[in-house]
Structure 1
Amino acid sequence: MSFTDAAPEPIAFGERLRILRVRRGMSRPVLAGLLGRSPSWLKQVERGEIHTPPLPMVLRIAEVLRVRNLSDLTGDQSMPVDLFVGPGHPRLPEVRAAVDAFPVAGTDRQAPDAAHLRARLARAWSARHSAPNHREVVGSMLPDLIRDAQLAVGQADTGPERRAAHAVLAEVYSLSQFFLAYQPDGALLWRVAERGMVAAQESEDPHTLGMAAWLAAEAHRDAGHYDGADAVTLECLRHLEPHLADGGDDVLAMAGALRVAAGYTAARRGDTGAAWGWWDKADRIAQALPADYYHPVTSFSRAVMGAHAVTLAVELHSGGESVRQAARADARCIPSRPRRARHRIEEARGYQLDGQSDTALATLEKAHENAPETIRYNGYARRIILEETEAKSPERRRRASELAMKVGVLAV
């Protein structure tokens, strides 16, 4: 083989780690702190002075840096594991086709009115919160909802009709984002998020705009765009401020959900004070809402504040605080199956951080019983399960392997 035909030198693990850290805009001390290690240890790993850490640490690095595929971090293409991208749902092609279709206003078919579309949306949200296979149920409803809402916007004649139709369309796009999240079509997710923001702005409705901004911030944060998440969140909070006194419970709840979103982003950055400060502000809003209030899109309510506290502690990588918050939170008070399952996953993250791996695995088993489709698409759950398949305990390896096959992390 000639010199020019030589294969390029593979990028070492440490250099891959450094590149990914810099791309995330994360300093070495911040990343080291989130991993529970010293900056000097991280520096040695990045320089190759310490060999690739064991799998549990590699998985935690991938989680903190939001590395979607382990091969991007390890360089090992023989076992590409998508941690934060779930499988493509069978309904995905139908939903994609409805989003991509060009809506023709001049069609002979009459669009349903806004009241009819809102009733269908309410049924869809109810199904999402109550069905264990919520992605399947929502995915079957979305294509017709998307087409009809687009048609309603095109056929609206007056200003009020157009604004009402845009509000419905924005909410349909919000529902679509829940279906599309963590599926292998990031471009489609962003397209829907952007269309949702445009429709919300056209609606001129504060509550609708708050929903679209909240979901856009979620998408930015999940992609590691923390500045983008903050920009959307804080700008929308400023917009909502004049409407809080007379906007009703839904507008107040959106302001609360956006404050939680700001806290999540601060926690991802490792800013403990800001994270809990935003939680306190959100909790004050939650206490001002009726005891039985539950926002259908964001799940914001009194019942969910305990779950948010668990997540903040976990994102700050505080195992002891995560377990303390988990003991205070009552998952039974959360009326939504997928939100309850997500809370169980967050509890499992906390237990594992605290060294209680058996309890973490048992909690994930509860999450799977409650809403299988939630855990199947959750990168944190997939990471814990994959890590536990390497546990020293044969019994824990067996349980983790069984759950891994159910979730789809390992092939049957």
Structure 2
Amino acid sequence: MSSDATPDPYSSQLVFGQRVQILRTRRGMSRPVLAGLLGMSPSWLKQIETGQIHVPKLPMILRIAEALRVRDLSELTGDVTAPVDLFIGPGHPRLAAVKAAVDAFPLAADQAPPPTAHLQHRLARAWAARHTAPNHREVLGELLPDLIRDAQLAVRHADTAPDRRAAQAVLSEVYSLCQFFVAYQPDSALLWRVAERGLVAAQESEDPHAIGVAAWLAAQAHRDSGPRHFDAADAVNLEALRYLEPHLAAAEDRVIAIAGALQFEAGYTAARRGDTATAWAWWDKADKAARKLDAAYYHPITSFSRAIMGAHAVTVAVELRAGGESVRQAVRADATAIPSRPRLARHRIEEARGYQLDGQPDVALDTLDRAHEAAPETIRYNGYARRIILEETEAKSPERRRRAAQLAAKVGLLAA
């Protein structure tokens, strides 16, 4: 390697500060931005990166890992003997079967597909099962292989243009369901295949709702890939909103809801950037969309509703690193109005992040316990929850360390 080549952060010769600087640069993040996310000064971060300050303690390492979206702590520490994945959960036992169905390329069309209406009914039941099951990935992993194959078959067998568009809409929604299963599992390439196929099928369907859902999930995939992909997330998101705008005046509830969900996603990305004004402006737009819906309405895919806006406010405040505001929004949010178990668990995790930001780690652990009660698989695959638990296993308080260790065991975080 030439002397002027870009250093490799995975090289064991690099010290911690060098790894931080390289990973920060590769993600297109300035020193003041990263320092702000950590609640520290740019001069402190410079001293870390230049080795003037020694490696910080585990809680700060975990905060750096979260801010840089580092997947494995060994990327920062250089210790590859005990890797700890933060933002990728364990591989589900049914992942291989789902992957096989996605990757299959069957050309024979000698088997008749189920009617499109039948597939739509199965999809509706699958979404309902996802929302009500504590171990929703297990439920989806069992249903998805057959749904994927049958929906693909329906597209191949469609004889007329309207039938083909209807089949493509179903196929797109099947891929959307699949993305919920694949997310945060150790196969990023599969996630992107599913997201891209969902977008293509949605475009072929010419169905506004299908297009909105596929864009909503694609924007999340881009955003969760790190700061360098925030622009791509916005591009997909805003283009979908421009497409939906002419349809909204006479739209059914599900189209209004997906537009509102996209508006919130735009605010979510802005919050990740640290843009407070833009983040809350998009939240306001999403809230106006929610108020156009009946109080009891709940979108079966995105969970968008009047009730969810309180949870969304917590997320915005947390991403803006505003601990006090996060707690205020958590107190105001009506979690009992969230009927989806995985979505409720996700809300509890966001609340826990807020309480930890506000200096209330004991409440954060209590809240993560409640997230586990709602949906164990959600917390098991959530990088933020994993980070909080790991951090608290190093707490000064023996009682907090004990509670964090117990939760880590329940979540499976310390499993070999």
TM range (shorter): over 0.9
Deviation at 1:103, TM superposition (A): 2.8
Residue matched to 2:156: 154
Residue matched to 2:144: 142
Deviation at 1:247, TM superposition (A): 2.0
TM-score, length-scaled by structure 2: 0.96
Q: Which of 200, 205, 211 is matched with 1:203 structurally?
A: 205
Q: Which of 265, 278, 293 is matched with 2:269 structurally?
A: 265
Residue matched to 1:387: 391
Contact 2:109 2:156 in 1 (8 A): no
Residue matched to 1:186: 188
Residue matched to 1:100: 103
- For the aligned residue pairs, the C-alpha RMSD in angstroms reads 1.0
Deviation at 1:49, TM superposition (A): 1.2
Deviation at 1:233, TM superposition (A): 0.5
Amino acid in structure 1 at the alignment position of 2:52: E
Deviation at 1:344, TM superposition (A): 0.3
Amino acid in structure 2 at the alignment position of 1:90: P
Contact 2:351 2:367 in 1 (8 A): yes
Q: Deviations over 1:340-387 (max 9, x none)?
A: 000000000000011100000010001101110110000000000111
Q: Which of 288, 292, 304 is matched with 2:292 structurally?
A: 288
Q: Which runs of 4+ in 1 moved over 6 A?
A: none
Q: For the residues of structure 2 that align with 1:406 and 1:103, how far apart are their CA atoms? A: 41
Deviation at 1:398, TM superposition (A): 1.1
Label 1:266 to 1:402 Cα distance change in 2 as closer, same or farther (>3 A).
Answer: same
Q: Deviations over 1:90-121 (max 9, x none)?
A: 110110010011132x4321101110000000
Contact 1:266 1:275 in 2 (8 A): yes
Amino acid in structure 2 at the alignment position of 1:129: H
Label 1:78 to 1:121 Cα distance change in 2 as closer, same or farther (>3 A).
Answer: same
What is the count of residue pairs matched by the alignment? 404
Unaligned stretches of 5+ residues in structure 1: 1-7
Q: 2:64 aligned with 1:61, yes or no? A: yes
Q: For the residues of structure 1 that align with 2:23 and 2:272, how far apart are their CA atoms? A: 15
Deviation at 1:153, TM superposition (A): 0.3
Residue matched to 1:234: 238
Residue matched to 1:256: 260
Contact 2:12 2:78 in 1 (8 A): no
Residue matched to 2:349: 345
Q: Which of 392, 403, 410 is matched with 2:407 structurally?
A: 403
Q: Deviations over 1:274-316 (max 9, x none)?
A: 1111101111111111111111111111110000110111111
Secondary structure at the aligned position of 1:85 is classed as coil
Q: 2:312 aligned with 1:312, yes or no? A: no
Contact 1:103 1:150 in 2 (8 A): no
Q: Deviations over 1:172-230 (max 9, x none)?
A: 00000000000001100000000000000000011100000000000001111111101
Contact 1:146 1:169 in 2 (8 A): yes
Secondary structure at the aligned position of 1:110 is classed as coil
Unaligned stretches of 5+ residues in structure 2: 1-10
Residue matched to 1:114: 116
Secondary structure at the aligned position of 1:238 is classed as helix
Secondary structure at the aligned position of 2:20 is classed as helix
Q: 2:172 aligned with 1:163, yes or no? A: no
Amino acid in structure 2 at the alignment position of 1:130: T
Residue matched to 1:80: 83
Deviation at 1:42, TM superposition (A): 1.0
Identity, in percent, stands at 75
Q: 2:176 aligned with 1:174, yes or no? A: yes
Q: For the residues of structure 1 that align with 2:409 and 2:360, how far apart are their CA atoms? A: 22
Deviation at 1:9, TM superposition (A): 6.7
Q: Which of 302, 305, 324 is matched with 1:301 structurally?
A: 305
TM-score, length-scaled by structure 1: 0.96
